Amino acid sequence: MTSASPALPAIPLPDDRKALLARLVEGLDTASLWWLSGYAAGLAQGHPPPSLAVVQGGHASALEGQRLTVLYGSQTGNARRAAEQIVADAEAAGLRVRLVRADTYPTRELTAERLLYVVISTQGEGDPPDDAIGLVEFLAGRRAPKLPELKFAVLGLGDSSYADFCGIGRRIDARLAELGAQRLQPLGEADLDVDTVAAPWREQALKHAREQLKNTDVPLGKVTPLRGAPAVPAWSHDKPFAAEVLANQPISGREFKGPGFRVYGPASKQVRHLELSLEGSGLHYEPGDALGIRHRNPAALVDATLHTLKLDGHASVTVGTETLSLSEWLASRRELTKLSRPFLAAHAERSGAEALQALLNPTQTAGLAALLADHQLIDILRRWPADWDHTSLLTALRPLAPRLYSIASSRKRVGEEVHLTVDELNYQAHGHIHIGSASGFLAGLAEGDLAPVYIESNDRFRVPADPDRDILMIGPGTGVAPFRAFVQERAETGAGGRNWLFFGAQHFNRDFLYQSEWQEALRRGELHELDLAFSRDQADKIYVQHRLRQRGRDVYAWLQDGAHLYVCGAIGMGKDVHAALLDIVAEHGALDAEGASAYLTRLQTEGRYSRDVY
């Protein structure tokens, strides 16, 4: 039985472009056409490789075996930058290389790969970055092919303030070897100071790539770039822009004063709205991007650390080529609120604390995870006293990493400004007040002060290219920030699609962030649906996942009609929401658990289910 092929849609190109397209594909063989289609698909998704090269000589099929593929999965941009640097080094060496983000990689190509470098971050307690969920599941599943001809290397990025440090990198490294692939070099495990590990790993990887790609019967030939490498931004995490503070105001909670700290009511959270000027910076951002903050540690925390260790903050200390006072090192160069396993190991040895040493045992992952989540540096120093000298302390502590905040504005509405929604961390623990490093820094800025900032793009978290698509946004707490930007952007561009927001917090009267703005957006038709969940306003706690289930039939109908789905907020919330979505799809789509999972995976692959969780 045969059926007619479906008619192809009309090509949405003017006649002159059609003529150019015909000239481009004229004479190309099947392999070349497939390559061209994949490249065009990458351009359509807004993620072309950093450069494109034509390799002269040889046929496409023969060239496949002498290409390096650099595959990356990134949550905050660090893994992407590390992968881009590998590609830049390989291109400079005249090697044939391509850069592929994990969620755009066709897994059917895996059996044809001969040289693969994977750069991947680990999120939270052993979770893959959102753009690599599908790849990680594929490799772990039964459909993963045997790979006896593949040579590979893995660079893992992580955060040693979590117990499962670089867990995803380790899993992929082990799984590729299990599938029969040959490991070219040991797994690299980079902490937040990425280049300390990534630079020597990259140097060794380039050496291996040269060796592997020269052993071929097909000459590499001359590499001709078709377009230059992307321009380096004027401002970056290494060179931030000094943005003037235009406004800094609380939008939740009630403020009380404590000695040296801001202290809030026991059931109240303090969230602040900041507006910063980007005038003169040349910085551009899109809704979904993040603003990087190069902050300073709180002065009270620096003083407490020096007092506990009985060290002189005025003493000059040289680390590498930089000389600063110890106080300045601790204020602007070292992490004081986030612990790392290497520091804990060094402190356990100095203090001789058996309880701390026991927690570092590989079998005590739960206890270590609880310690890392609950303690700051000062808590460790007070609980298990030890002697540290200036240089040893600075060497053991991690470099102070910038913090990323989802941007809460659209440039089309606010012009040369950028807005943030900041949850000011301030709580009592272990007999002392604890304050957040970056959030405390931002909370303390007054109008006219300067904040060092840069833009961290997030191409996976964008409003739909088709303005007539509906969108569902799930953002409790400060996770609502990017959706304020989404609604502004869609209103300013006249998008025809509907906007539906699920928002949750503890209390209606204290924590309904941007309440008047959402009410005005509903009145003006910029927001079409708003579902709220305030967990502490009744005996039974109600969260956004409960509201999702209550509206499950409508949620599924929107998805079936092509809506895009977005989730932003804490990792735990993201998991609960995902579980609710699985239930909704299974119930209203009449699918079993495997079918519901495949449905959501397909949405992710299509770019219709995007998450920004942290």
**Picking from 228-237, 252-261, 270-279, which range would have the lowest pLDDT averaged per residue?**
252-261
Query: Considering only the top CATH level, what class is 233-295+402-458?
Result: mainly beta
What's the CATH fold of domain 28-225? Rossmann fold (3.40.50)
Reported as a pLDDT band with limits 50, 70 and 90, residue 220 is very low
- pLDDT at position 357 is 93
Domain with CATH 1.20.990.10 in the chain: 296-396
Is the pLDDT confidence value at 217 over 80?
no
What's the CATH fold of domain 296-396? NADPH-cytochrome p450 Reductase; Chain A, domain 3 (1.20.990)
| DSSP structure class, residue 149 | T
Q: What's the average model confidence in pLDDT over 204-220?
A: 75
Please provide the DSSP assignment of 527-572 as one string: --EEEEEETTSSSS---HHHHHHHTHHHHHHHHHTT-EEEEEE-HH
Q: What's the average model confidence in pLDDT over 267-276?
A: 82
Count Cα atoms within 13 angstroms, Cβ side, for 49: 23
- pLDDT at position 7 is 39
CATH of segment(s) 471-613: 3.40.50.80
Q: What's the average model confidence in pLDDT over 420-430?
A: 91
Kind and range of the H or E run holding 163: none
CA 345 from chain centre, in angstroms, equals 28
Higher pLDDT, 60 or 526: 526
**Picking from 42-51, 328-337, 576-585, which range would have the lowest pLDDT averaged per residue?**
42-51
Please provide the DSSP assignment of 2-60 as one string: --PPPPPPPP-S-HHHHHHHHHHHTT--HHHHHHHHHHHHHHHTT---S--EEE-SS-H
Domain with CATH 3.40.50.360 in the chain: 28-225
- pLDDT at position 236 is 87
Q: What's the average model confidence in pLDDT over 133-156?
A: 93
Q: Which of 37-51, 422-436, 558-572, 596-610 has the highest mean pLDDT?
A: 558-572
Phi, psi (5° rounding) for residue 224?
-115, 110
Share of the chain above pLDDT 90, in %: 68
Is the pLDDT confidence value at 63 over 50?
no
Amino acid type, 254 = R
Domain with CATH 2.40.30.10 in the chain: 233-295+402-458
C-alpha distance from residue 48 to each of 98, 100, 104, 199, 266 (Å): 10, 9, 11, 24, 49
Q: What's the average model confidence in pLDDT over 309-332?
A: 96
Kind and range of the H or E run holding 264: strand 261-264
Q: Which residue has the tokens 């310690």?
A: 371
Domain with CATH 3.40.50.80 in the chain: 471-613
| Rounded distance between C-alpha atoms, residue 215 and residue 218, angstroms | 9
| Rounded distance between C-alpha atoms, residue 186 and residue 155, angstroms | 9
Q: Which of 222-236, 315-329, 362-376 has the highest mean pLDDT?
A: 315-329
Mean pLDDT of the chain: 86
Please provide the DSSP assignment of 230-260 as one string: PPPPSS-SSS-EEEEEEEEEE-SS-EEEETT
* Angle formed by the axes of helices 341-351 and 365-374, nearest 10°: 100
CA angle 562, 516, 266 (to 5 degrees): 105
Is the pLDDT confidence value at 353 over 70?
yes
- pLDDT at position 519 is 96
Answer whether 206's CB lies under 8 Å from 94's CB: no
Q: Which two tokens stand for residue 613?
A: 């969780």
Phi, psi (5° rounding) for residue 309?
-85, -5
| DSSP structure class, residue 454 | E
Q: What's the average model confidence in pLDDT over 185-193?
A: 91
Share of the chain above pLDDT 70, in %: 84
- pLDDT at position 215 is 53
| Rounded distance between C-alpha atoms, residue 161 and residue 192, angstroms | 10
- pLDDT at position 37 is 58
- pLDDT at position 60 is 38
Contacts of 226 (CB under 8 A, 6+ apart): 51, 52, 53, 54
Q: What's the average model confidence in pLDDT over 354-367?
A: 87
Reported as a pLDDT band with limits 50, 70 and 90, residue 29 is very low
- pLDDT at position 368 is 86
Question: Model-level pTM?
Answer: 0.78
pLDDT in tens, 88-112: 999 999 999 999 999 889 888 999 9
| Rounded distance between C-alpha atoms, residue 561 and residue 582, angstroms | 17
Sign of the CA dihedral running 185, 208, 36, 31: negative
